Amino acid sequence: MKIIKSLDEHFEEYLMGSLLIGISCVMLLQIFMRLIGESLVWAEELCRYFYLWSVFLSISFTIKKGIILRVDLLVHNLPRTIQKIVEITLQLINIVFFSFMSYYSILTVRGIRMSTQSSPAMEIPMFLVYLIIPLGFILTTIRCAQQIYLISTGESSIEKEDFLQTQ
């Protein structure tokens, strides 16, 4: 149970941190290789793919933490009950949007898989690179549903101080 709670709280952070460490290590290796007169043809491509994965993971991370970029000046001036209704409505809209994006990104990845396209330098199947798009959208949809639950039970970030005020 402790492991599940830790993954719920830190899943995206663990993955994004690992990807950032991976990017740093590969770039340092590339710098070292260039110093000795060699070059890794796959280093830039791998870093680009790691960066792409971290971008799609960060969407669900910002939803989970409640720090996604939005204009909420009007919402903060409403009574708490109305704030909760607005927040739940916004999360429902997010669920519809990210479900739609999940569905069509799955179709896209399926099409890429059938094309047998591979990456230029590493020659890995491109559907593996693009797999993060539906995974990121599905994870974001789950986090939006989780936010609805937290808002309904009073455990959401709207009950806490605003993120910018704590800085």
**pLDDT band at residue 156, thresholds of 50, 70 and 90?**
confident
What distances in angstroms separate CA 50 from CA 20, 150, 160, one per listed residue?
Answer: 8, 31, 33
Q: What is the pTM of this model?
A: 0.86
Is 87 within 8 Å of 79 (Cβ atoms)?
A: no
Ramachandran bin of 130, using left for φ above 0, alpha for ψ from -120 to 50, beta for the remaining angles: alpha
What are the pLDDT digits (tens) for 76-118?
889 989 999 999 999 999 999 999 999 999 999 999 999 989 9
Span 53-69, pLDDT tens digits: 999 999 999 999 988 87
What tens digit of pLDDT does each residue of 65-87 get?
988 877 777 888 899 899 999 99
- pLDDT at residue 161 in the model: 44
Counting residues of the chain whose pLDDT is more than 90, the rounded percentage is 75
**C-alpha distance from residue 154 to each of 8, 84, 86, 158 (Å):** 18, 9, 14, 8
At 5-55, the pLDDT tens digits run: 888 889 999 999 999 999 999 999 999 999 999 999 999 999 999 999 999
